[in-house]
Amino acid sequence: MREKIRILILEDNAADAELVQRELEKAGLSFVASIVAAKWEFLQQLDVFDPDIILSDYKLPGFDGISAMRVAVARKPEIPFIFVTGEMGEERAIDTLKEGATDYVLKQRLARLGPAVERALAEVEEKSQRRRAEENYRTVFETTGTAMCVLGEDSVVLSANRGFERLLGYAVGESEPEVRFKQVVSRDGSEVEDFYRYHREVLSGGGTDPVFFEVRVVHRDGRTLDVLASMGRLPGTRNSVLSLIDVTREKKFEGELKERAERLRDFLTVASHEIRHPITVIKGYTEMLEDVDIEIPEDMVADIYASMDDAADRLIRIVTELMDMSLIENDGIELDMTSCEMKELVLEAATDKRGWRADRHVEVEVLSDPGLATVDRVRFMYVLDELLDNADKYSPEGSPVSVTLEARAGIALVSVLDRGPGIPESDRERVFERFYQVEDALNHSQPGMGLGLYIVKQLLDAQGGKIWYEPRDGGGSAFRFSIPK
């Protein structure tokens, strides 16, 4: 508020204008006044003098108080307008108030003027404070990082901030179709009932303490989002204030962490089983060989040593896989890249059939010779061995396994093909993940810890290669990998 109140007085009688000012001084008001009588003067001073309040006579020659009030209300609605008049019937007075006048004071009871002016100015101040407070709330409402809205009857969104629009794709405004939150909230959300219960409570006048719950909502474009919601009653109303924080990413992450923990648990079970088996074999045979009371037939001794050797190989393989995994996860793989003849490596891998089923037939087909490629020889052979071992391990006795080699633009393409059970579509990407085993493998019909293909993929990635799975026409698996030339 300014230091001195600026009062525009519309009065054609100088003595009355004088009286009015004296009355205001008596009331202790500090003011400057501008006294006008003609219409043009009034209109001019409305802008130039920029009054805080207008006091107007009712009857003026050539310009009446009602017209002045209408102009003032239309042009400066925030300025209080008080009639100071000698005569004005009760009904007329009420009509002027309805039209926008702030108050009226009769000239014969001028003592009321001071308090009337003070009251009118106090109301203006209060209104502007309220407007500022509303503006502040609106700013907070809009700039808070969360999506917020106010819900009324039948979960109609009465107002919403831009965060709400960003989160759910719905704008709320006069030109927008009505949005009902119950159409946005997804029924499969875990705590959706909490939302409905609280909303009903608020509508029936309850729900004073805010509540927090998680719900699933559907964005206008069809995406499902997980949100953390807090809901409270808007004071003095039966509407609810709802704020929503998008936790879709966190939820997904939480799910992944849980799954990882489960997989790690499964892995420990599988790994201990895997290690135990060959140890039991070796221990059983050594005890048997040491026992002087047991006579072992001559022709069995070679078989026993072969079984012990297989078990030791199995253990070496397990330890190698674990060490490789640890290397990949911790320090990264160090490669020793040299230029190698692809055909030679593939032929060598297919010839080394140690530990394979006796009746397995492996065929190598060079569809087009890629010549040389730069690879880590040992790691490359590991990849081939692993894929060939899997082909042997997972396909039935007697069925053929083949390896093809071809030259493609800038790459050598190697495929390991079998006629085994193939891999279900839902598992085809996942078999390259750490510890992942297809359901049947989990039941442990075959040895393995779900690490082989993971290590293979990491080794190929490190050498600039790629691996993928394709089902084969007529059944079986095709594991294909590329290596840059």
Q: What is the binding site for ligand ADP (CB under 6 A)?
A: 390-391, 394, 418, 420-421, 423, 431, 436-438, 441, 448-454, 477
Query: Closest Cα partner for 229 from 217, 215, 241?
Result: 215
* Nearest to ligand ADP of 207, 448 (CB atom): 448
Task: Give least dist CB 464 to ligand ADP, A.
Answer: 21
Q: Is 242 exposed, middle or buried (0-12, 13-18, 19+ CB in 10 A)?
A: buried
Task: Give least dist CB 386 to ligand ADP, A.
Answer: 6
d(CA 155, CA 178): 10
* Nearest to ligand ADP of 42, 394 (CB atom): 394
Task: Give least dist CB 337 to ligand ADP, A.
Answer: 25
* Nearest to ligand ADP of 80, 450 (CB atom): 450
DSSP-derived pairing of the beta strands 147-151 and 240-246: antiparallel
* Nearest to ligand ADP of 34, 415 (CB atom): 415
Task: Give least dist CB 395 to ligand ADP, A.
Answer: 7
Task: Give least dist CB 453 to ligand ADP, A.
Answer: 3
Torsion angle of C-alpha atoms 208, 212, 214, 215, degrees rounded to 10: 20
Query: Closest Cα partner for 452 from 406, 384, 358, 359?
Result: 384
Task: Give least dist CB 434 to ligand ADP, A.
Answer: 9
Q: Residue 39 is which amino acid? A: K
Query: Closest Cα partner for 53 from 18, 89, 20, 86?
Result: 20
State residue 159 phi and psi, 5-degree precision.
Answer: -150, 155
Task: Give least dist CB 406 to ligand ADP, A.
Answer: 20
* Nearest to ligand ADP of 207, 452 (CB atom): 452
* Nearest to ligand ADP of 129, 272 (CB atom): 272
Nearest residue to ligand ADP, scored by beta-carbon proximity: 448
* Nearest to ligand ADP of 12, 461 (CB atom): 461
Task: Give least dist CB 342 to ligand ADP, A.
Answer: 21
d(CA 64, CA 57): 8
Query: Closest Cα partner for 465 from 401, 373, 332?
Result: 373
Q: Are 264 and 325 in contact (CB under 8 A)?
A: no
d(CA 96, CA 44): 23
d(CA 331, CA 76): 75
* Nearest to ligand ADP of 93, 271 (CB atom): 271
* Nearest to ligand ADP of 114, 447 (CB atom): 447
d(CA 456, CA 463): 11
285 forms bridges with which residues in the sheet?
none
Task: Give least dist CB 396 to ligand ADP, A.
Answer: 11
* Nearest to ligand ADP of 57, 418 (CB atom): 418
Query: Closest Cα partner for 349 from 381, 391, 394?
Result: 381
Task: Give least dist CB 402 to ligand ADP, A.
Answer: 12
* Nearest to ligand ADP of 189, 476 (CB atom): 476
Task: Give least dist CB 405 to ligand ADP, A.
Answer: 18
E strands within 315-465?
Answer: 337-341, 362-366, 372-376, 401-408, 411-418
d(CA 241, CA 234): 6
Task: Give least dist CB 478 to ligand ADP, A.
Answer: 9
Query: Whose structure tokens read 């966190």?
Result: 250
Query: Closest Cα partner for 368 from 391, 387, 342, 345?
Result: 342
d(CA 258, CA 267): 14
Give the DSSP letter string of 379-392.
Answer: HHHHHHHHHHHHHH
Q: Are 28 and 5 in contact (CB under 8 A)?
A: no
* Nearest to ligand ADP of 85, 477 (CB atom): 477
State residue 234 phi and psi, 5-degree precision.
Answer: -75, 115
